[in-house]
Chain A
Amino acid sequence: MKIAIPADGKNMESNVCVSFGRAPYFLIYDVETKKSIFINNSAAASTGGAGIKAAQIIVDSKANVLITPRLGENAADVIKSADIKIYKTIAGSVKDNIDAFTANKLSLLNEIHAGFHGREEN
């Protein structure tokens, strides 16, 4: 099983990024092999629809779980179409969040943020 998390930096001590679509990196963590890779979020520089493009990157990474502080409506549509489960992050590093997830301490993300006037900003 693979977990994706938006991250501010490229190591396990990095903070979770407050934005999904504009996050500089995504951590893709493989629970079985315990391997972590950080991929660049090429969507971060988009003028519009960053959330959609970022969600496509997550889908393509074959993640089964996304842990994120927030998620826009359009991005959520993409993530859900791929049957990826969405959990809400807790304060701390990406590692803290992986640990919390494996210890079953995270809750599902319920609030999906409506994009500003249909535009996806997250």
Chain B
Amino acid sequence: MKSMPGFMDEKKINMKIAVLSGKGGTGKTLVSVNLAAAAKASTYIDCDVEEPNGHLFFKPEGVQEENVTVKIPKADDKLCNACRKCVDFCNFNALAHVKDKLIVFEEVCHSCGGCILVCPEKALTEREKVIGKVQKGTSDQVSIYTGILKIGEASGVPIIKKLLDEKNPKTNKLTIIDCPPGSACIVMESIKDVDYCILVAEPTLFGVHNLNMVYELVTLLNKPFGVVLNKCLLEEKNPAEKFCIEKNIKIIERIPFDNELGTLNSNGEIAVHKNEKYRELFSSLLNTVTKEVWHETTINP
């Protein structure tokens, strides 16, 4: 008979957890950063590439950077016979042909490579374009990975791929993925291989709307998940809580509305490092999630 292993069980510690929310500023980074810090030895991956904030809390040291590039087409006007096959082919309308010149809209191009294949004159070749970078550093026992998308670039997906495929230290560490807000394809890419999703929600009607977006995404992808309600006031009605109860969604933690926590957070401090009560709160959340993942792997191995 299989016995329930202890907290330090390797499979459980090795788990990947994604933290999501329908929009920014709901406490997604607060939860991600403090979970990673509560676990001590962990990997924190900031996939919110348009606004990566996690590093502001961890202040990682020994930071190394690597550029992320994509391939975009380049035309040789001397070889081009203006047949327009490439322009017609491009689903994203990243190409235009004007006055015997091919214009490539680099930010619109999705690097599918199709135009290069369809060009009968071999007038198109690939060139590398930098769309952003990934940074890697450490803070205590946390390894911090940050993805940064250049302003104006259409898609951060290649950066997410790089962050998550980065032959990440396959040591027995917990991985926390701080996802981009919303439910677009970049979020799907971020949670593709995770064991569990934490949805962070605010106690407002807008909060419910945002929660519903990510709720639909994780159910679509069939990911085990639970909700963390942030900024909870005891005496006030909480529409997000009501939504969870109606939909039969598990609430795994309630973070109280608390000025001290807000101040620590806005000063870029990691709450679990500053106050024992927050350490307890996030350790208990981590414990709950660990149990949930364990539960999932026993019923859906």
**A120 / chain B contacts, CB cutoff of 8 Å:** 93, 105, 108
Chain A proximity mask over B87-115: 1 for CB below 8 Å, otherwise 0: 10011111111110101010110000000
User: Which of the segments A9-17, A51-59, A86-94, A98-106 contacts the partner chain?
Assistant: A51-59
- Say yes or no: B101 contacts A81, CB within 8 Å: yes
B251 to chain A, nearest CB (A): 34
Given A81-B103, A118-B154: A53 touches B98 (CB 8 Å cut-off): no
Judge if A85 is at the interface, Cβ distance under 8 Å: no
A52: nearest chain-B partner, CB-CB: B93
Chain B proximity mask over A12-47: 1 for CB below 8 Å, otherwise 0: 000000000000000000000000000000010011
Judge if A97 is at the interface, Cβ distance under 8 Å: no
- Count residues of B near A (Cβ-Cβ below 8 Å): 19
- Say yes or no: B92 contacts A59, CB within 8 Å: no
**B91 / chain A contacts, CB cutoff of 8 Å:** 47
B159 to chain A, nearest CB (A): 14
Which listed residue, B99, B107, B154, touches A81 by the CB 8 Å rule? B99
Q: How far, in angstroms, from A49 to B93 measured CA to CA in the complex? A: 5
- Say yes or no: B99 contacts A56, CB within 8 Å: no
A40 to chain B, nearest CB (A): 16
Question: For chains A and B in complex, what number of residue pairs have CB atoms within 8 angstroms?
Answer: 57
Main secondary structure of the interface of B (DSSP, over half): loop
- Say yes or no: B96 contacts A56, CB within 8 Å: yes
Within 8 A of B (CB), among A43-81: 43, 46-50, 52-53, 55-56, 59, 74, 77-78, 81
Q: How far, in angstroms, from A55 to B97 measured CA to CA in the complex? A: 10
**A46 / chain B contacts, CB cutoff of 8 Å:** 93
- Say yes or no: A52 contacts B108, CB within 8 Å: yes
A52 to chain B, nearest CB (A): 5
Q: How far, in angstroms, from A52 to B154 measured CA to CA in the complex? A: 15
Given A117-B152, A118-B154: A78 touches B98 (CB 8 Å cut-off): yes
Judge if A82 is at the interface, Cβ distance under 8 Å: yes
Within 8 A of A (CB), among B62-96: 87, 90-96
- Say yes or no: A48 contacts B108, CB within 8 Å: yes
**B107 / chain A contacts, CB cutoff of 8 Å:** 118-119
- Say yes or no: B154 contacts A55, CB within 8 Å: no
Judge if B153 is at the interface, Cβ distance under 8 Å: yes
- Say yes or no: A59 contacts B93, CB within 8 Å: no
Q: How far, in angstroms, from A81 to B101 measured CA to CA in the complex? A: 9
Given A82-B98, A118-B108, A118-B152: A77 touches B93 (CB 8 Å cut-off): no
- Say yes or no: A56 contacts B94, CB within 8 Å: no
**A74 / chain B contacts, CB cutoff of 8 Å:** 105, 108
- Say yes or no: A43 contacts B93, CB within 8 Å: yes
A48: nearest chain-B partner, CB-CB: B92
Given A77-B103, A78-B103, A119-B108: A50 touches B154 (CB 8 Å cut-off): no
Within 8 A of A (CB), among B243-276: none
**A53 / chain B contacts, CB cutoff of 8 Å:** 93, 96
- Say yes or no: A49 contacts B105, CB within 8 Å: yes
- Say yes or no: A81 contacts B152, CB within 8 Å: no
A77: nearest chain-B partner, CB-CB: B103
Q: How far, in angstroms, from A118 to B93 measured CA to CA in the complex? A: 13
Q: How far, in angstroms, from A59 to B84 measured CA to CA in the complex? A: 13
Chain A proximity mask over B117-150: 1 for CB below 8 Å, otherwise 0: 0000000000000000000000000000000000
- Say yes or no: B97 contacts A56, CB within 8 Å: yes
- Say yes or no: B96 contacts A55, CB within 8 Å: yes
Interchain residue pairs with CB less than 8 A apart (16):
A47-B91, A48-B93, A49-B90, A49-B108, A52-B94, A52-B108, A56-B96, A56-B97, A77-B103, A81-B96, A81-B99, A81-B103, A119-B107, A120-B93, A120-B105, A120-B108
